[in-house]
Amino acid sequence: MTEPTDLHVRMLEQQQAMLKRLARVEGQIRGIQAMIKRGEDCAAIAQQFSAARSALDKSYRLMLTCLIEEAMLDPEQDTDASLQRVREIFTKYT
């Protein structure tokens, strides 16, 4: 079996970080659902929505960072093609 590369290890670490963040967002969403079911104050619910959106945005930025690193650090990828791929994703999703 071959040893994982530094890039591969880094990608696995970033995947785990994204999954942790998304698990937290999932918990926040469940909490919001519970607040709505209990009929809690709309201002408190709005505050939790804002926190969940912020957490999801941070997760998304982490994914974009991962994309850039993957595209730019992989020695097997063509630099111009990698830059084009990153541009397309940024343009389409941000």
* pLDDT(76) > 90: no
**Paired tokens of 59:** 């997760």
In a 13 Å sphere around the CA of 19, the CA atoms on its Cβ side amount to: 6
DSSP-derived letter for residue 39 is: T
Q: Summarize pLDDT for 28-58 with one digit per residue, the tens.
A: 999 999 999 999 999 999 999 999 999 999 8
Name residue, tokens 């020695």.
Answer: 75
CB-based contacts of 27: which residues, under 8 Å, 6+ apart?
none
> Binning pLDDT at 50, 70 and 90, where does residue 93 land?
confident
- The pLDDT assigned to 68 comes to 81
Distance CA 8, CA 49 (A): 35
Within the chain, how many helices (H) and strands (E) appear?
3, 0
Q: What is the pTM of this model?
A: 0.72
